[in-house]
Amino acid sequence: MFAVAHAFLGLLLGLAFLGITGDRQVIPLCVIGALLPDLIDKPLALLIPELGSGRTIGHCLMFVFAILLVAWLLFHYRNTLIGVAFACSVFFHQIFDSMWQSLQTWFFPILGPFPLLPVPDYTGYYLWLEIASPSEWLFLMASLVIVADMLGMMPSRPIYYQIGAGILGVMGIFLVVAGWFDKGGSLFAPSYTATTSALAGLLAIVGAAALIHMSKRGIRYT
Q: Give the pLDDT of residue 149.
A: 81
Single out the residue in 131, 157, 192 at which a domain terminates. 131
User: How many structural domains comprise the chain?
Assistant: 2
Task: Please give the model's pTM, rounded to 2 decimal places.
Answer: 0.91
Same-domain check for residues 55 and 145: no
Which residue range is the domain that position 171 belongs to? 134-222
Which amino acid does the sequence have at 76?
A: H
pLDDT tens series, the chain, 222 aa: 899 999 999 999 999 999 898 888 999 999 999 999 999 988 888 787 666 678 899 999 999 999 999 999 999 898 899 999 999 999 999 999 999 999 999 999 998 888 877 665 656 667 778 888 999 999 999 999 888 888 877 666 678 788 889 999 999 999 999 888 887 767 899 889 999 999 999 999 999 999 988 877 656 555
The Cβ of residue 107 has, within 10 Å, a number of other Cβ atoms equal to: 15
- CA quadruple 195, 105, 72, 147: dihedral sign: negative
Single out the residue in 66, 99, 131 at which a domain terminates. 131
Same-domain check for residues 151 and 125: no
Same-domain check for residues 46 and 88: yes
Single out the residue in 131, 151, 171 at which a domain terminates. 131
How far from 95 is each of 59, 84, 204, CA to CA, in Å?
9, 16, 15
The Cβ of residue 159 has, within 10 Å, a number of other Cβ atoms equal to: 9
Q: Give the pLDDT of residue 129.
A: 82
